[in-house]
Chain A
Amino acid sequence: MMAAFGQVWQIARLTFLEAVRQRFFNFLLLLSLALIGSAYFFRQFDFGPQELRFSADFGLGGIMFFGSILAVVATAQLFFGEIENRTALTMLAKPVRRWSFIAGKLLGVSLLIFVFVGLLTAVLGAYLWWRQGEYISAWHTAKLAGEQPTEFPGEMRVQFAGLAVNALLQWLKFSVLAAITMLVASFSNTNLYTVVVSFFIFLICQLQYIAHDAWAGIQSPLLAGLAWLLGKLFPNFQLFAVGELLVFPTAIPVPAGAVATAMGYGILYLVGFTALAVGSFRSREI
């Protein structure tokens, strides 16, 4: 068993190294960093301390957008790279189990996503830290001059721990998306098909909440059944938005239980989709 886990780790390590050398990953990373960096130009709009929330929304939106592209495209590319180059055949001819191959690939992609989300969150956090520091300092200067009687408003302060928790939740969401992509790849024949289908599934998962919210209110039993089925077949990706609520203080604090529940939900689906991808890949002819 330990040998199998060793194999998983080796495959994950190689997958990660291969992925970080890919132009696609580096291009996406640079693009995302440029997007976060462009928040600097919001200063000219003179938003005041609200600029912090504006920049945070902008940066988090960028991480979500590019992260989902990375999770789908990198997973499909790395999987079909092994199939098309026939390295999968060589690898599986050795005493490497199919589940180790899938689990290793997914772990490698998950590490890649972790680095991507972690790096972008760190850059966003550093930017917000700098801007917040400037606003607090300006606020105190105004206070000393008698122009500003109160402390820098608490509701405008960035909660950096919340930003980190949000990054963790986003990473988990993208890992589930990578596992979904791996499941699609395990039975499809082309990279393009996998990418397109996975994006559609991603869209359904993002919109699943509409079915989840609507089914109880639908009159037609057929439509209600369909909405119920949709709500059960696909995970609700908007659940991970609980992390975004942690970045700035809210009137009613988000309970820690909600974050833990979202994490548990993500882990459940991550394990579930990985198991399905393994099951499907076992019957695949290579």
Chain B
Amino acid sequence: MKIDRSSWWWRKGRAMLAIFASLLAAGVAAEPLQDSAWSEVRSRQPELKSNLHDLSDNLGQGMLLGVLGGFRTVLADFVWLQSYSYWVQHDRPDTEATIQLAGTLEPDMILYWDEGSRKIAYDIPHWRMQELEQDQESPDPARRAAAEKEVQQSMEEQAQRGISLLDRGLKFHPDNYILLRDKAMIYQDRLQDLPDAAENWRLAAATSNSPFFAAREYVELLLQMGERREAYDYLRQLYPTLPPDAPEAQKGVISDWMRALENLLKIPHDNSPQFAPPPGWKPDPNAVYMPELFQEIGK
């Protein structure tokens, strides 16, 4: 085969070489543009490198290509919808796996961490409870005790798994009220771990969009743990920040709590204006918010 300037190979080869050289030149010319914009995009995308193997196992090669190819968020949506169908079927391993996967694919979605952790920590132990219902009602005490033990174990394990999921979410959203609240509630309701629950309520109350009750939850837990001085100091910091006109802030109730704690701790009442009860507030003698506190001072 003779290759001269008029041959097809020469003409096509030259054209291809020209295209190749032009693309290379364009790539080099565009590099500064690419680098600056790409660093912005890349820094906000989740790091998938470390768990590519897991992703490949859970998603399959085709879906993995979709994830890497820019369809990450929409595939996360599909994975989440899939987790619903597993949840409806009470399929524990697949429910958990798809919840974890959805969070990996789209960590910006609070829903995956929030609702996912609740499904893992609250729903799955109930499935186990339902499975063991007959054993729990058995006349045989040994069988009943074994079932009770297993349910308790499942509750603790699932609570820990729910907390682990929330911890993963908190790496991406360290100041998110919803995730901190969920964590506090799991510690409080499922593990009866009051110090950790209190710590997470404190963190939740410190977030910018926290509802007022988060701070009250923290104080209640401090009081349940006998940390009265700490509770009082926290209330003194909290009180001046509460708006007097927002009923949900319950500034008057907080004022009552402070007075009650001052009595309990034998601290002189602070009558400075910043700690004055809100205008028109009449202390409620039947306050039910803190029964143990009010009982002790004789109300």
Contacts and interface: CB of A to CB of B under 8 A. Distances in A.
Interface of A: 45, 47-48, 50, 53-54, 57-58, 60-62, 64-65, 146-150, 153, 183, 187, 203, 206-207, 209-210, 212-213, 229, 231-239, 241-242, 244-245, 248, 250, 254-255, 257-258, 261-262, 264-265, 268-269, 272, 275-276, 279-280, 283
A244 B23 CA distance: 27
Given A60-B73, A232-B24, A250-B44, A54 B111 contact: yes
B226 interface: no
Contacts of B70: 64, 206, 237-238, 241
A248 B106 CA distance: 14
A275 B23 CA distance: 11
A207 B20 contact: no
Given A148-B211, A149-B246, A269-B30, 19 more contacts: A53-B109, A54-B111, A57-B73, A58-B77, A61-B73, A62-B74, A206-B68, A209-B42, A212-B38, A232-B24, A235-B27, A238-B38, A239-B37, A239-B38, A245-B41, A261-B33, A262-B37, A280-B19, A283-B11
B40 to A, nearest CB: 4
B34 interface: yes
Nearest to B43: A252
Contact of A264 (B33, B45, B108, B246): B33
A131 B129 CA distance: 38
Contacts of A153: 209
Contact of A203 (B69, B73, B84, B249): B69
Contacts of A232: 23-24, 27-28, 31
Contact of A54 (B31, B34, B77): B77
Nearest to A202: B69
Contacts of A203: 65, 69
B23 A242 contact: no
B41 A241 contact: yes
B71 interface: yes
A194 to B, nearest CB: 15
Contacts of B29: 268
A279 B18 contact: yes
Interface residues on B, range: 35 or more
Given A61-B73, A149-B249, A233-B24, A245 B33 contact: no
B36 interface: yes
B40 A242 contact: yes
Q: Which 10 pairs across A and B sit closest by C-beta, in order of nearness?
A: A61-B74, A232-B27, A50-B111, A57-B73, A258-B40, A206-B69, A261-B37, A149-B248, A265-B33, A272-B26
Interface of B: 11-12, 15, 18-20, 22-24, 26-31, 33-34, 36-38, 40-42, 44-45, 65, 68-71, 73-77, 80-81, 84, 106, 108-111, 114-115, 209-212, 246-249
A86 B126 CA distance: 70
B37 A50 contact: no
24 contacts: A45-B84, A47-B111, A47-B115, A50-B111, A54-B109, A57-B77, A58-B77, A61-B74, A64-B70, A147-B248, A149-B212, A153-B209, A210-B68, A232-B23, A232-B27, A242-B37, A242-B40, A245-B44, A248-B108, A265-B33, A268-B29, A268-B30, A269-B26, A272-B26
B61 to A, nearest CB: 13
Contacts of A58: 74, 77
A54 B24 CA distance: 39
Contact of B19 (A61, A183, A261, A269): A183
A238 B39 CA distance: 11
Contacts of B247: 146
B103 to A, nearest CB: 13
B27 A233 contact: yes
Nearest to B27: A232
Contacts of A275: 22
A265 B34 contact: yes
A207 B69 contact: yes
Contacts of B249: 149
A149 B247 CA distance: 9
B28 A65 contact: no
A50 B34 contact: no
A4 B108 CA distance: 49
Contacts of A245: 40-41, 44
A248 B73 CA distance: 13
B111 A60 contact: no
Nearest to B70: A206
Interface centre among B11, B42, B75, B246 (most CB of A within 10 A): B42
Nearest to A242: B41
A96 B211 CA distance: 69
A268 B27 CA distance: 10
B71 A64 contact: yes
B106 A57 contact: yes
Contacts of B40: 242, 245, 254-255, 258
Given A57-B74, A146-B248, A48 B111 contact: yes
A257 B41 CA distance: 12
